[in-house]
């Protein structure tokens, strides 16, 4: 499942192909993906010029010159792929295709259909609940240790659950929370409200470094964030704890073993020895 760094690398890969260009043609092959694609989507997007391509949490936000934004969410299995001259031919999972005025073609593919393609008027964006309830962006400079401490203050929830709560911090998912917690030596089971002062600073640094390293890896392993297959934004990872139950902890000097537990129905991987 794509998390923040993957979506960020998709955005960076998409940007040079979309920004400043117009949608010459939009092909819509289904009425819905996870949610309905709005009425008149093809007509409303065709001819629009792309002002900017950005990310908010795990949303890809494409601002158009018509007072609307095109929103794309990759869900569980969504992909954006650059194709040339319509090749390879579209398959059953290729739901929407965007052809730019310079011939660039971006295809939205999603076998499991948990993704979203939507169009929202600028005026409605601020009040849109998908955005209005989101917490701060973890990579923003304004998100500092004090802001993180404040977000967690008073919370009796396990630290991992509090970090996954999008109202506290936007865009953090299961994998990167496990990785960041191992990096800073904090247990996913600890009460979130106990993370203060230096612990909040260490956690903040770990979150930013974990996400930053992943985005850099996405940029270095795939030229311009585009793979040879044309797929945007995916890359190989080497995890510290994620999916490594029973294997040695990779923290320097630690002789612990990575353990898997289940929290709120999801797997948590951590090292009970160095994460307190």
Strands 105-109 and 79-83: what pairing? antiparallel
The region of 56-64, 186-194, 245-253, 262-270 touching Zn ion under the rule CB under 5 A is 245-253
* Min separation Cβ 174 and Zn ion, Å: 19
254 contributes a contact to Zn ion by CB under 5 A: yes
- Grouping H, G, I as helix, E, B as strand and the rest as coil, residue 121 is strand
Please count the other Cβ atoms lying within 10 Å of the Cβ belonging to residue 17: 20
Residue 260: CB minimum distance to Zn ion, A? 14
Q: How far is the CB of 186 from Zn ion (least distance, A)?
A: 12
Report d(CA 8, CA 142) in Å as an integer: 18
- Among the listed ranges 33-41, 218-226, 231-239, 253-261, the one in contact with Zn ion (CB under 5 A) is 253-261
86 close to 105: Cβ distance less than 8 angstroms: yes
Among 5, 249, 268, 270, binds Zn ion (CB under 5 A): 249
**Residue in this structure with the two tokens 């794309």, named with its chain if needed:** 72
Nearer to Zn ion, 11 or 241 (CB): 241
Pick the piece of the chain touching Zn ion (CB under 5 A) from 50-58, 107-115, 134-142, 242-250. Answer: 242-250
Cβ atoms of 69 and 62 closer than 8 Å: yes
In 3D space, the residue among 86, 88, 81 whose CA is nearest the CA of residue 103 turns out to be: 86
From the centroid of its chain, how far is CA 85?
A: 29
Token pair listed for 211:
């996400």
Using CB under 5 A as the binding rule, whether residue 21 contacts Zn ion is answered as no
**Would you say 168 or 275 has its CB closer to Zn ion?**
275
Q: Which is nearer to Zn ion, 15 or 273 (CB)?
A: 273
Helix, strand counts (H, E) of the chain: 8, 10
Catalytic residues: 2-3, 58, 266
Exposed / middle / buried, residue 89 (Cβ in 10 Å: 0-12, 13-18, 19+):
exposed
Instruction: Please identify, using beta-carbon distances, which residue of 133 and 243 lies nearer to Zn ion.
Output: 243
Q: For residues 91 and 141, is the Cβ–Cβ distance under 8 A?
A: no
Subset of residues 255 to 274 that bind Zn ion, contact rule: CB under 5 A: 256, 271, 273-274
- Is the Cβ of residue 111 or residue 256 nearer to Zn ion in the bound state? 256
* Count of residues interacting with Zn ion (CB under 5 A): 7
Contact residues toward Zn ion (CB under 5 A) are 249, 251, 254, 256, 271, 273-274
């Amino acid at each position: 499942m794509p998390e923040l760094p993957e979506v960020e690398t998709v955005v960076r890969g998409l940007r040079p192909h979309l920004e400043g260009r117009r949608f010459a043609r939009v092909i819509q092959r289904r009425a819905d993906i996870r949610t309905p694609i709005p009425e008149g989507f093809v007509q409303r997007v065709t001819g629009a010029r792309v002002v900017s391509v950005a990310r908010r949490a795990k949303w890809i936000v494409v601002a158009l010159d018509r007072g609307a934004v095109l929103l794309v969410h990759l869900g569980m299995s969504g992909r954006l792929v650059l194709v040339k001259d319509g090749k390879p031919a579209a398959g059953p999972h290729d739901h929407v295709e965007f052809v730019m005025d310079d011939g660039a073609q971006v295809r939205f593919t999603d076998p499991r259909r948990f993704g979203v393609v939507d169009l929202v008027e600028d005026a409605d964006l601020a009040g849109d609940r998908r955005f209005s309830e989101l917490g701060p962006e973890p990579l923003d400079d304004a998100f500092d240790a004090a802001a993180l401490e404040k977000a967690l203050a008073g919370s009796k929830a396990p630290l991992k659950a509090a970090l996954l709560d999008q109202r506290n911090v936007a865009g953090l998912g299961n994998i990167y929370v496990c990785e960041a917690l191992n990096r800073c030596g904090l247990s996913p089971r600890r009460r979130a409200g106990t993370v203060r002062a230096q612990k909040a600073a260490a956690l903040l640094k770990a979150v930013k470094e974990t996400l930053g390293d992943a985005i850099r890896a996405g940029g270095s392993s795939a030229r311009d964030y585009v793979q040879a297959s044309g797929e945007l934004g995916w890359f190989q990872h080497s995890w510290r704890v994620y999916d490594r139950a029973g294997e040695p902890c990779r923290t320097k000097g630690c002789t612990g073993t990575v353990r898997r537990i289940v929290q709120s129905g999801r797997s948590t991987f951590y090292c009970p020895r160095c994460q307190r």
